[in-house]
Structure 1
């Protein structure tokens, strides 16, 4: 099943035969080709190439959803029966889907570089070996290294009972690097991640980035820990992107809201969340990023949605169902990782718009603060967040001073947004994101933003 276009007639015929039995019926057919490589120290942990084919059926009847997956096209009639039977079994209300115009289209996200399918496995493995050698040779104190490479090319056909028939394809590439350094009982880790939907070349010139991960791990062994306290902080664009995605973006996903009245009240349109200079967006329409596409997995055209305008919440991210139930417009944010999963409301490319403050002025008049760059990891729980910075320095009397380690930033997202004092005039797109939700981990997203100055942030470290 290499040419999915040959199967459009089969899908539309099956839709026609069954569409009157439910309120909504959709069939997604998908073929994907990918590579996975993982090196751990001097060992090859994973080295594989694969092609997979399959699909999903979604049926909705009186508000109830049925879902079935298949790997052989010959079983599709049975899977349609299963999905319809499940939907009719659980449906007891009303199917509410925001209306969209049916679309017939064939589209491919454009490459500016090499298609990863045209790059031999041996060349990809050699690239991983090169980066692994950089990490392993950097210092005797580096005890563990990990290099991961992954690419996936997906070609999808979506047919629906409303007349939509879309063929869409894209490739996604990602590399992850980590180095762990040890000195006695002290252990520190440096990480870097990067990705692209533009071409294989984007992964070929990363020597400096890879060295940076290793050097941060080694240097952190001798750095003093930050003193835990509340500080005015300046964060770089990479941390800003992580913050806007993890801490605010997930709360903007409407499937988190419409069944949770308390959270819906908190995230109400018209509520002020930050200063007038704060503008937050999400959208797959900007091209060239890892969260970019032409149509979402319900056939809704990609858009750009403003979530925060002049500090006030003005938008939310929607599937057709959440948009219908909240009486808002669909935003093209229904996405699934692959055919094994139903679409959920997911972010695409999420960013804070650049501001007007020169970056050097963000540090002015800070008697004692923290400058944090990059990220090691993070987690959110509702409106609370905790992020670990990849590297950090103290700020003393408006100047960047000594480097420190073990810097974690935590707090309440709404209070933190309100405490933004200045927004830098720089901007950076971070294409390293792999988002997880509802068991679907590793969905490609983009994050962006400028440097930010934020007052009264809890910084964890060692207390005196």
Structure 2
């Protein structure tokens, strides 16, 4: 493991030469940059009483981009050297052609630091991490004799980036990430059910290795598993649904958030294209994408184009007021970049992506919202889902849900799926709780083959008339 700072221009690549090659690649272009990255990651998985895997990965490389109009040329290499960069220039220039563009102004600078620079992988020794996993396994099994399997994961990564622009502007960011997850399987009378809990953020490992923290996560995983153990078959039909606070915001993220990314709207493929300034949600609904929350999983001091993160309002009191933008789509749409240009790694070109996307709370007591639910489902946890960006139609599976009749929360239900479309669901929001919460820090988002960490959140929300699909218990 290397503890030396990532200084690519002090090693195999001279800064002046890199700037010269970048200038050659972007001559006549509208935009472009050289993105350099070093990343280290570690993951330890303890499953069923033994170490299942222990992995460590280290990588570094660069991505060179030249943009003209709607076209971008991109080349990348794991070899940070003059030779590799010179070869990359030829590929990037294919997007520029004869040139004629005007280079966009560089992003504004920022002195903000939203998270620590410390490497979380080095925050605890390997034996300490391994012993923590063993303790989690033993603790879970001691909690309940019905526990038959325990899986626990400790993961950490440290990403260092340098972004060089043709005018010589240079931006750096050091991004830590940690996560701890616990999964539990219980068995009773031949029936097995599972539950999971976890979280983390752009933090050190100290908090996650604190017994008070992992014990709470383990208890939560067991609670969900035991709830599912007594779950009944979920009903099916069109009914009102109450979503719990925090992690259920993943439905908002998928069904609505992607449709508010700039590229889909510029191309007219989003269900929300052409609706700027119009009402797309019920009164009182305000949705933000905020990359400036300290230490959160989806936060970024600067995005992967060097633009400082912002707190962007997307929907205000039900009215569509903004999209999430990278530099290219913002320029083509005649608006400002919003700090949402993100990429999975140096091997990927940036695109508009969410950071921490959440709905603000309202004034209703969550208990009153549930009391008003006459016949429906109370969904507290979600697993996988699918969304069609062009029409916003979604299907989400519930990992924890309850039947509600006449305002009374009844038995848990198994196999419930929520089916609808984002645009209609926004219009059918009937109540917003005063308990807005962010998720515990476990979200990942996929788009066009790229995965990035994200955050979600919302208050307790009542949505009228969603289709609920059920299954046998």
1:360 to 358, 367, 373: 367
Distance (Å, rounded) in 2 between the aligned partners of 1:73 and 1:412: 45
1:389 to 398, 402, 410: 398
Distance (Å, rounded) in 1 between the aligned partners of 2:414 and 2:102: 50
Give the structure 2 partner of residue 192 of structure 1.
197
Give the structure 2 partner of residue 89 of structure 1.
94
Q: 1:68 to 1:79 in 2, by over 3 A?
A: farther
Give the structure 1 partner of residue 53 of structure 2.
46
Give the structure 1 partner of residue 344 of structure 2.
337
TM-score, normalized by length of structure 2? 0.88
Q: Secondary structure in 1 aligned to 2:266?
A: coil
Displacement, 1:319?
0.8
Query: Contact 1:189 / 1:216 at 8 angstroms: preserved in 2?
Result: yes
1:118 aligns with 2:123: yes
Q: 1:385 to 1:132 in 2, by over 3 A?
A: farther
Query: Contact 1:291 / 1:445 at 8 angstroms: preserved in 2?
Result: yes
1:437 to 438, 443, 447: 447
Distance (Å, rounded) in 2 between the aligned partners of 1:220 and 1:154: 38
Q: Secondary structure in 1 aligned to 2:283?
A: coil
Give the structure 2 partner of residue 229 of structure 1.
237
For residues 30-45 of structure 1, what are the structure 2 equivalents within 5 Å?
Answer: 30-45=37-52
Give the structure 2 partner of residue 346 of structure 1.
353
Distance (Å, rounded) in 1 between the aligned partners of 2:24 and 2:117: 44
2:385 to 366, 369, 378: 378
Displacement, 1:101?
3.7
Structure 2: gaps of 5 or more residues = none
Q: Secondary structure in 2 aligned to 1:73?
A: coil
Structure 1: gaps of 5 or more residues = none
Give the structure 1 partner of residue 84 of structure 2.
79
Displacement, 1:371?
1.4
Displacement, 1:194?
0.8
1:16 to 17, 20, 30: 20
Give the structure 2 partner of residue 401 of structure 1.
410
1:67 to 42, 65, 74: 74
Q: 1:213 to 1:46 in 2, by over 3 A?
A: same
1:127 aligns with 2:127: no
Displacement, 1:147?
1.8
Distance (Å, rounded) in 1 between the aligned partners of 2:91 and 2:21: 18
Displacement, 1:337?
2.0
Give the structure 1 partner of residue 9 of structure 2.
7
Q: Which moved more, 1:421-430 or 1:3-12?
A: 3-12
Distance (Å, rounded) in 2 between the aligned partners of 1:402 and 1:448: 25
What per-residue deviation string (whole Å, max 9, x for no partner) do you get for residues 245-301 of structure 1? 111111111222323x35366462123221110000002123231111221111111
Q: Secondary structure in 1 aligned to 2:55?
A: strand
Aligned length: 460
Displacement, 1:171?
0.6
1:413 aligns with 2:413: no
